[in-house]
Amino acid sequence: MDFINQTGWTDFVPVVDDDAARFLQLILQIKRPKNILEIGTSIGFSAVTMALTARQYGGNITTIEFDKTAAEHADMNFKRSGVDDIIPIELGDARQIVPGFSGNSFDLIFQDVSKRLYPVLLKDCIRILKAGGVFMTDDALFPVMELDPKYHDQVEPICEFNRLVAASKDLESTLLPIGDGIMVAVKKQQ
C-alpha cells in the first residue's frame, strides 16, 4: 500500500506490512464484519487500513493500546485519515480490557499485540467472538523465520499460541505466509 511509504509510518514502529494490510482489507470486503476488535493499535496503521474498508459498509473498530504516546499518534492518524468517528480507542492493558467484553461481541478480531499475550488472551478472544466470526493474528510465522535476536523471546509464546489454535475445538484455522505470517481462524457455529 503506497500509504505506508507516503506517511513514513514504518520508519518509527513496527506495523503490518503491505501484503498483510491488503489481506486485511480483502477479508473485510469479503466478510463485511460490523464490529471489529483490534488488539495492539500502535500508531494506528492497521486500524486505518481496516477502517478505510469498514466505513464503506458501516463497520466500526474498537482498538486497544496501553502506550499513551502511541495512542495519541493513532488518534492523530485517525483524524487525518477521516476515520476517527468509527475507531474508538481503548487506552489500557489488553489483559484487563479483553476479559471485560461480553461474549459474542465481535464479528472480527485482529490481534497484533505483545506476542507473550497471544496464548494468554486466546480463551477470551474465542469467547468474545461471534459464531462464524473471524480471528486473525499477525506474526504467526515468527517461529520459522530468521529473526533479529531481539525477537527471539517472542518465538515460544507464538509456538504455544499456534498449537492451541490448531487444537481448539472452537476454531477452524490455517496459517498463511502473508507478511510475517497470519493465522486466520473462524469460530465454529455450535
Min separation Cβ 66 and ligand SAM, Å: 4
Find the binder of ligand SAM among 70, 83, 125, 134 (CB under 6 A): 70
Q: CA dist 51 to 16, 36, 42, Å?
A: 14, 10, 15
Cα 143 from Cα 160, distance rounded (Å) = 10
Of 140, 126, 134, nearest in space to 168 by CA: 126
Part in contact with ligand SAM (CB under 6 A); list of ranges 58-66, 123-131, 147-155, 156-164: 58-66
* CB of 107 or CB of 112, closer to ligand SAM: 112
Find the binder of ligand SAM among 67, 72, 156, 160 (CB under 6 A): 67
What is the contact mask toward ligand SAM in residues 88 to 117, using x (rule: CB under 6 A)?
A: -----xxx----------------xxx--x
Binding site for ligand SAM (CB under 6 A): 14-16, 40, 42, 45-46, 64-67, 70, 93-95, 112-114, 117
